[in-house]
Amino acid sequence: MKALVCTALSDDLSGVAVRDVSCPEPGPGEVLIRVKSASVNFPDILLCQGKYQLKLDPPFTPGMDMAGDIVAIADDVTDFKIGDAVCGGARFGAFATYATAAADGLQIKPNSLSYDQAASYSAAYLTAYVALVRRGNLQPGETLLVHGASGGVGMAAIDVGRILGARIIATGGSDAKLADAAEYGADHVINTKDGFHERVKELTNGRGADVVFDPVGGDIFDESVRCIAFNGRLLVIGFTSGRIATVPSNMPLIKGFSVVGVRAGEFGRQLPELGRENIAQIWKWARDGQTRPRVHTSLPLSQALDGFRMLQNREVVGKVIINP
């Protein structure tokens, strides 16, 4: 079968290419999936650069989220059968013709979602849910400031914030992408090229944002400190800017806000019962048609690295999907 394989860690992804590999077999508790769609996430890139929290020794196949059909099943798996359309994922392995996955990490694909949409769903919406509900305690009527709003995780945060009844301010560096964010549910949009903290204060009558969703870091984090409300929650999602920001400890003290780290997968591993509740809730929203995962484009496996670079170059509104 074909798979995208990382044979060497490198900043420029030169160690990543499509190769012929042996088809895996499901182990205990696993199923084998004929992958129809797999979504590109920023951690996939970091994994191949050796910069992610999870460290893998090459060779390995990246890819966290997928959707496809079950073609083989371990004897101890009883919740699924061959032919079921499923979605979900693992920590790696999805960018391949076939992939194994633990059955307890999968869902029957909701009829409301296409394979591409289902593949784009799990990581982005779980991150948004854990960030806004479990870590940010976002309340109806509060102001949510979403940075990197046009990315897959940013779009999911807008969608979840809308469901939770927040007033949403979205930021980004492109007017065209921000128009998409406004259409998607943001109440206000701000182009960050000229800064944003003064406009956020203006839109909140001087109070500032109650919750800041920040997957960007760097200068965006620094300026967020200037427009967060008293008792605000500044959620650290990631560092797509490339710079890990720091904040002097006197600033949270004086301004009365919290800096809160978000690792959605680790949250579920550390608190399994709440983790199961998180997953159940986001997929209930999907089955009920309440969420609207946004697919930017779909590419064949041979163009997977093009998808990686689109994400790196901030060319994406929503998710890039790979069709192995």
pLDDT of residue 52: 87
Examine the domain organization and report whether 217 and 300 are in the same domain.
Answer: no
Q: What one-letter code names the amino acid at 1?
A: M
Residue 62 belongs to some domain of the structure: yes
Examine the domain organization and report whether 82 and 158 are in the same domain.
Answer: no
Q: Output DSSP code: residue 303.
A: G
Residue 287 belongs to some domain of the structure: no
Examine the domain organization and report whether 113 and 231 are in the same domain.
Answer: no
Q: Tokens 């990686």 correspond to what residue?
A: 308
Residue 33's domain comprises 2-121+293-323
pLDDT of residue 91: 84
pLDDT of residue 54: 86
Each residue's pLDDT, cut to its tens digit, for the chain (324 residues) gives: 999 999 999 999 999 999 999 999 999 999 999 999 999 998 999 999 998 888 999 999 999 999 999 999 999 999 999 999 999 988 899 999 999 999 999 999 999 999 999 999 999 999 999 999 999 999 999 999 999 999 899 999 999 999 999 999 999 999 999 999 999 999 999 999 989 999 999 999 999 999 999 999 999 999 999 999 999 999 999 998 889 999 999 999 999 999 999 999 999 999 999 999 999 999 999 999 999 999 999 999 999 999 999 999 888 888 999 999
Q: Domain boundary residue among 227, 248, 266?
A: 266
Tokens of 211: 């919750």
Annotate 61-100 with b (16+ C-beta within 10 A) or e (fewer). Answer: bbbbbbbbbbebbbeebeebeeebbbbbbbebbbbbbbbb
Give 289's contacts (C-beta < 8 A, 6+ positions apart).
112
Examine the domain organization and report whether 137 and 196 are in the same domain.
Answer: yes
Distance CA 5, CA 2 (A): 9
Q: How far is CA 60 from CA 132, 212, 228, in A?
A: 32, 35, 41
pLDDT of residue 149: 95
Examine the domain organization and report whether 50 and 158 are in the same domain.
Answer: no
Distance CA 1, CA 20 (A): 6
Distance CA 306, CA 35 (A): 19
pLDDT of residue 314: 85
Residue 284 belongs to some domain of the structure: no
DSSP string, 242-297: S------THHHHHHT-EEEE--HHHHHHHSHHHHHHHHHHHHHHHHTT---PPEEE
Per the structure, the count of domains in the chain is 2
Q: Output the pTM of the full model.
A: 0.90
Q: What one-letter code names the amino acid at 191?
A: N
Examine the domain organization and report whether 166 and 237 are in the same domain.
Answer: yes
**CATH number, domain with residue 6:** 3.90.180.10
pLDDT of residue 89: 80
